[in-house]
Amino acid sequence: MFSTLKMQILRYVLRKAALIIRFLLLMVASGLVNQSVAYADDTSSPLDDIKSVYIYNFLSFIDWPEPQDDHYQLCVMAKGSMYQRIYTVVNGEEVEGKPIRIRPLDGKLEGCHLIYWQEGMPISSAELGTLKNSKALLVSDKNNFISDGIGMVAFETRGRKVRVALNLTAIEDAGFKVSSKLLRVVRIER
Amino acid sequence: MVYSRHIRKSAGVLIFLASQCGFAADNLSLEQLKSMPIEELSALELGIASKIPTKIEETPAAVYVLTSEDIRRSGHSSVPEALRMVPGLNVGAVSGNAWAINSRGFQETFSNKFLVLLDGRSLYNQTFGGVYWDMNDIRIEDIERIEVIRGPGSAVWGANAMNGVINIITRSSYNTLGGEANVTVGNQRKELGLRYGGELDADTTYRVSGKFQSTDQNSPTEFSGLRFKEKLSEDASSQGRLNLRTDTDVGDGSSLMIDTGFFRGTSEQRMFVAEQNQITDPALYQQVRGQTLNNLFGLYQQGLITADQLGASLIISNEDPSTGWDCLTTHCTTDIRDEQRYEGAHILGKWRQVSGDEWYSIQAYVDFVKRTEYQIEQHALSLDIDVEKGWQSTLGEFAIGAGFRTVDDSIKPNRSTTPVLRLDPSQRRDNILNFFIQNSYAVTEDLRLLTGVGYEYSSQSGSQWQPTVRGLWSVAPETQLWSAMSFSSRTPSRIETGAVANSAYAISPDKNHVEEQLTSFELGLRHKFTDDFSVDLSGYRYWYRNLTSLVIVDPFDPVLSNPGLLTFGNDANVDSYGAELAVSWQVVPSWKLQASYSWLSQKEGHLPANYESIISANKSAEHQWSLRSYWDVTQDLELDVNLYYISGLGASNSQILMGNEHPVDSYLRTDIRLGWQLSPHAEISIIGQNLFDSTHEEFYSSPINVGGVSENTEIKRSISAKLTLRF
């Protein structure tokens, strides 16, 4: 009887301890996660800055097919920090008198002129297929994004450099026209 | 609307120095990135820190950057031609294959006070002190930017950067994948250029590029043939070159660049040189030349023949214009129509690492050049190693570096029957060791102080210290004021310490020749009136000391045919001052204007009693202005107009040599380019140069500078079409 009580107390303590340990572990882990996220964010931010400014530049170096709207709608599927960065770049800006709007890409592709899909954001192959039919300029930093015939503009990174690659066939098939100024500084794929 | 669609770009103040600094893009705000032209954005490399601050607006020096876009739209096809666009730089074409380029005075074919670097490799020829521009005619489409620093750069770049530095930086192979071919056909120049870039593996890209060009003869000047011989314009040229560059990302913030190439070419030249008369026996001379060997000039001096008779004799003695011997005395004036031949090769490796607040770079190269002309055949083999380190601390940004350079050169007589120019010794190895340290310290939030000192030991001229103190005050976000005090020097060239002439004048070499010195004060102001309109103003006061001059010890006696004697002096002083203004205005999004004006005044101070300037203070234009207009007519059509005005140049007032010494008139040069993009893969442009001038003269070389009376030519009007294909 006494031993059963002892066992029960022990079990209770162990259970609590396990909870506490799990809680502590969670704390540490989450701390680590937070830290590593923060770290990754810090180191990649200059590259992300350049990508955001490229996205802004695309609006003036690429001609959208007719009929054109009275604004540019950016649809962005990216982590919060990247979304914020692009927002900061385009907020209040106009290209040829047309205001630039930005919203998260939440499955609704209607009205998007440029879709930026950040590497690592989940997407299914079905969703990829729908992107293809969106009539938007498709931009991503995912590996081989422009080699599968769907993507149009890719950010390629090596070491400390960002490079833009274009799939001209996909871009031209969708009716876009790229200015020579941009063509001169990018990698072109067919 | 197919009209050009632009976003607001600021008027070009926010440009970055890549060579000294690479771009610490980490420090760039989104606003700054947004205002960068697309070609600048694509060239950004993160975290490569600098010898001096990154942004031009934070640089306490007179700097100007030509971007690849400036160069493309100018229609210029070579580096020396493109340098016309830089405010405050004196650029003059001596002929179709030689240029005289310098800033802030002392313009000459061998402008020995200016350093030129191509991807960190020095193009400065230590033997003659200057740059052979024809040997460095790289494919201009491979250039990413040309950065020009006017004013002393010696504290960091070492001696010979006394008047400034031109840094030519080619594009990374990472940014030039794919193929590009360009063909230019015109009345003056034909060129074929090719490039192909690819990936060797995930971390390494390569680029092979090359070009072949041939340039036709221009027009003779009225002074051609010393005014009594046939007028010729021997200045055609042709050359070919091939380059291979690889860029590797080694990981951990390290990268490796390897660049190798070779070139070969020819450049025509006409020159008059006084050579010893080979036939001193009057009877033999009568037999060979069919004339009496007379000391004509001596007879004239003694009053035994008239000036008319002297002139007539000169012309008679030139019955055979292709060889043309004018044997006045013991020496004959030889008419040389020369084809200079050159070839060279190099291999360069550069390793860079950036980690946190520190960066390192190690660069090494071997460079070989060979150049053969009528008088001499020269070889030079150089090995150069540079190590640099930079870091950030509470005391500001630091950069230190050490370099070693060894040059083995040999100068041998070539076809000249009596070599007019010899070097003693004919072969020599010179070693140069240099160190520098530089600090950039923020005294207050608005005031930055840049101090640096360079030390150089040369086996030729011993030790030199070259300090600089520079300050930059950000008066307001749109206004910066900077000032600099520097002391710099130039190592004597081989000619100055070892030339032995064998002509009407002999030269006794000056083994104890010391370096030329310059103390300078500079002041600059940059102001951005609006995002679209900005000005950059700089002024300077220079005190040159120990300038090289040629002292006439004994004048040549034509009566007795006694050779004269010259020696290199080291005591000429020149003061100069001037100002340079650059304005950039984005009038409307599709139209940009860039204007510049520069003013220069040089005053010769103390000079030896009888002297011959090696480089003259009279031969740099006092006033220069340029106006460049870039207009995007439609998205596919560009119309660009470049105007350059250069005021007249004086004669160098040579006391020794006559003939080609004359002033050059002022000229206004108009270039127009029409560019049309046919498709994403093809562009065509029509380029007209010197449109409103059938010919004009720009510069002539002082005989002493090039070792003979070298003829310049008048630059012709040219029209050409250029087709660019990408694949």
ipTM above 0.95, yes or no: no
d(CA B96, CA B90): 17
* Interface check B316 vs A, CB under 8 A: no
pLDDT given for residue B320 in this prediction: 44
Q: How far apart are the first and last CA of chain B?
A: 29
Read off the DSSP letter of residue B534. Answer: E
Read off the DSSP letter of residue B40. Answer: H
* Interface check A122 vs B, CB under 8 A: no
Predicted confidence (pLDDT) at residue B303 exceeds the cutoff of 90: no
For residue B93, which phi and psi values (nearest 5 degrees)? -85, 120
- Taking the CA of residue A87 and the nearest CA in chain B, the distance in Å comes to 11
Predicted confidence (pLDDT) at residue B6 exceeds the cutoff of 60: no
Fold exhibited by the domain B25-219+229-273+335-343+352-375+404-726:
Maltoporin; Chain A (2.40.170)
* Interface check B45 vs A, CB under 8 A: yes
Minimum CA–CA partner of A177 in chain B: B680
pLDDT tier at B413 (50, 70, 90 boundaries)?
confident
In a domain? residue A34: no
Instruction: State the count of interchain CB pairs (< 8 A) between A and B.
Output: 103
Residues of B in contact with A43 (CB under 8 A): none
Q: Which amino acid is at B43?
A: A
* Interface check B2 vs A, CB under 8 A: yes
pLDDT tier at B52 (50, 70, 90 boundaries)?
very low
**What pLDDT digit, counting tens, does each position of B656-712 carry?**
555 557 889 999 999 999 999 998 889 999 999 999 989 999 998 877 666 677 889
In a domain? residue A33: no
Predicted confidence (pLDDT) at residue B293 exceeds the cutoff of 80: no
Record the tokens describing residue A179, joined without a space.
Answer: 């200015």
> Is the pTM higher than 0.95?
no
- Which residues of chain B does CATH 2.40.170.20 include? 25-219+229-273+335-343+352-375+404-726
* Interface check B718 vs A, CB under 8 A: no
pLDDT tier at B326 (50, 70, 90 boundaries)?
low
Given an 8 Å threshold on Cβ–Cβ distance, is A85 in contact with B6?
no
The pLDDT > 90 percentage for chain B reads 44
pLDDT tier at B272 (50, 70, 90 boundaries)?
confident
pLDDT tier at B301 (50, 70, 90 boundaries)?
low
Query: Could you identify the residue written with the tokens 């350049």?
Result: A50
pLDDT given for residue B317 in this prediction: 43
- Mode of pairing for the β-strands spanning B178-186 and B189-201: antiparallel
Q: Count structural domains, chain A.
A: 1
**What pLDDT digit, counting tens, does each position of B145-164 carry?**
898 888 887 666 666 778 88
Looking at beta carbons, which pairs linking B276-283 to residues 24 or more positions away fall under 8 Å?
B276/B330, B276/B331, B276/B332, B276/B417, B276/B418, B276/B502, B276/B503, B277/B327, B277/B329, B277/B330, B277/B331, B277/B332, B278/B417, B278/B418, B280/B330
Q: Are B499 and B421 in contact (CB under 8 A)?
A: yes
Q: Look up the CATH number of the domain holding residue A160.
A: 3.40.50
DSSP-derived 3-state class of residue A82: helix
Whole-number average pLDDT of chain A = 78
Minimum CA–CA partner of B29 in chain A: A49
Nearest alpha carbon to residue B693 among B646, B659, B727: B646
Residue A59: give the domain boundaries: 43-189
pLDDT given for residue B527 in this prediction: 94
pLDDT given for residue B710 in this prediction: 82
- Taking the CA of residue A41 and the nearest CA in chain B, the distance in Å comes to 13
Minimum CA–CA partner of A188 in chain B: B178
Given an 8 Å threshold on Cβ–Cβ distance, is B177 in contact with A187?
yes
pLDDT given for residue B294 in this prediction: 59
Record the tokens describing residue B496, joined without a space.
Answer: 């100055």
Nearest alpha carbon to residue B111 among B90, B88, B136: B90
Residues of A in contact with B48 (CB under 8 A): 160
pLDDT given for residue B520 in this prediction: 93
DSSP-derived 3-state class of residue B17: coil
Given an 8 Å threshold on Cβ–Cβ distance, is B636 in contact with A53?
no
In a domain? residue A162: yes
pLDDT tier at B10 (50, 70, 90 boundaries)?
very low
Residues of chain A with pLDDT below 50 are 1-2, 21, 23-44
Residues of A in contact with B68 (CB under 8 A): 184
Given an 8 Å threshold on Cβ–Cβ distance, is B39 in contact with A60?
no
pLDDT given for residue A166 in this prediction: 93
DSSP-derived 3-state class of residue B158: coil
* Interface check A54 vs B, CB under 8 A: yes
Element (H, E) at B379: strand B376-393
pLDDT given for residue B662 in this prediction: 81
**What pLDDT digit, counting tens, does each position of B330-379 carry?**
667 777 888 999 999 999 999 988 887 788 899 999 999 999 988 889 99
pLDDT tier at B607 (50, 70, 90 boundaries)?
low
Minimum CA–CA partner of A47 in chain B: B46
- Taking the CA of residue A189 and the nearest CA in chain B, the distance in Å comes to 9
DSSP-derived 3-state class of residue B218: coil
Q: What is the mean pLDDT of residues B244-259?
A: 92
Residues of A in contact with B2 (CB under 8 A): 63
- Taking the CA of residue A30 and the nearest CA in chain B, the distance in Å comes to 26
**What pLDDT digit, counting tens, does each position of B420-473 carry?**
667 778 888 989 999 999 888 889 989 989 898 989 898 877 888 888 899 999
Predicted confidence (pLDDT) at residue B511 exceeds the cutoff of 80: no
In a domain? residue A23: no
Considering only residues B397 and B387, tell me which one the structure prediction assigns the higher pLDDT.
B387
How would you write B54-112 as a 3-class SS string? Answer: CEHHHCCCEEEEEEHHHHHHHCCCCHHHHHHHCCCEEEEEEECCEEEEEECCCCCCCCC
Out of A95, A161, A178, closest to residue B7 by CB: A95
- Taking the CA of residue B649 and the nearest CA in chain A, the distance in Å comes to 40
* Interface check A93 vs B, CB under 8 A: yes
Strand partners, B521: B485, B541
Strands of B15-56 (E only): list them.
Answer: none
Given an 8 Å threshold on Cβ–Cβ distance, is A158 in contact with B48?
no
**What pLDDT digit, counting tens, does each position of B159-185 carry?**
677 888 898 999 999 989 999 999 999
DSSP-derived 3-state class of residue B38: helix
Q: Distance of CA B509 to CAs A52, B163, B500, B553, B565, Å?
A: 63, 26, 6, 12, 11
In a domain? residue A174: yes
